[in-house]
Amino acid sequence: MTEFFDLTHDARTGIAEIVLNQPARLNTMTPAFFPAVRDAVQGLDDAGVTRVLVLRSSGKHFSAGMSLDVFGGDFTLLDTRDPRARLNFQHGLRRLMACFDALETARFPVVCAVQGGCIGGGLDLALACDIRICTADAFFTVQEIHIGMAADLGSLQRLPKVVPQGIARQMAFTGERLDAARALTAGLVNAVLPDADALRDHALQLAKHIAAKSPLAIAGSKIALNHARDHGTAESLQQMALLQSAIFDTAEMERAIRAWRDKVPGEFAPLPPAAKV
């Protein structure tokens, strides 16, 4: 448990959950939130035993994004008065970005379950995940444009790779809310559930389905998908040839085939802990 979220891990299934736990504050983010998420995700990844992470929230809204108090407070990162300060701004902002990058680079998939508003930084967070599902009352918005700034923690970079360019640009330029039905049509979410309970059940069922697969094959698939998203087909195929040569495991495949054929849970070793550096 942290000031911002509860973290649990089921050793039996390999499913971890991060639940944002500040509903009275609409799960808004302060500067300390970012390294807390990064450290939690990297800790799970380093241990090697997590097969899927479910990221969800408590309360009415998933997250209202960065707390507006940050913009009016004494936050050193926001100082841009001279070249040294601006260089420091860039350095600090990239560190904030890297905190959400941890979700994208983790060896396990991340399922984001959105209820209510997914606003500003909340959308940045959701877009860094592999799969998004939501409740029927959910909405998604690039809130930053309303306060006179361009979104800067990943939405403008990731959103156009998930939804059509026109939708991404309209959201970025207007701050309009994309409701759950349109988010489903646009491909931003994979499913819309009636309420928060159904959302959690669906997220965990999806997580169990993923966790039953070979963690080696899942990790390899995520690496390949991330690379293909950001590179051309020829380069991605070359990367796949190298990746497959590194992770191809006939013994793992035999276990997977046997489990699939016999309709029983597969018995797969976890990934090894990350090397200490």
pLDDT in tens, 108-123: 999 999 999 999 999 9
Residues 6 or more apart in contact with residue 217 via CB below 8 angstroms? 247, 252, 256
Contact at 8 Å (CB) between 102 and 41? Answer: yes
Q: What is the pTM of this model?
A: 0.94
Instruction: State yes or no: pLDDT of 59 exceeds 80.
Output: yes
Contact at 8 Å (CB) between 34 and 100? Answer: yes
The three-class DSSP label of residue 235 is helix
Which of left, alpha, beta for 263 (phi over 0: left; psi -120 to 50: alpha)? left
- Residue 277: pLDDT band by 50, 70, 90 thresholds? confident
pLDDT tens sequence across 121-164: 999 999 999 999 999 999 999 999 999 999 999 999 999 999 99
Contact at 8 Å (CB) between 54 and 207? Answer: yes
Mean of pLDDT over the chain:
94
Relative orientation angle of helices 233-247 and 215-230, to the nearest 10 degrees: 160
Please give the share of the chain, as a percent, with pLDDT higher than 70: 97
| CATH architecture group of domain 5-211 | Alpha-Beta Complex (3.90)
Report pLDDT for 73.
Answer: 55
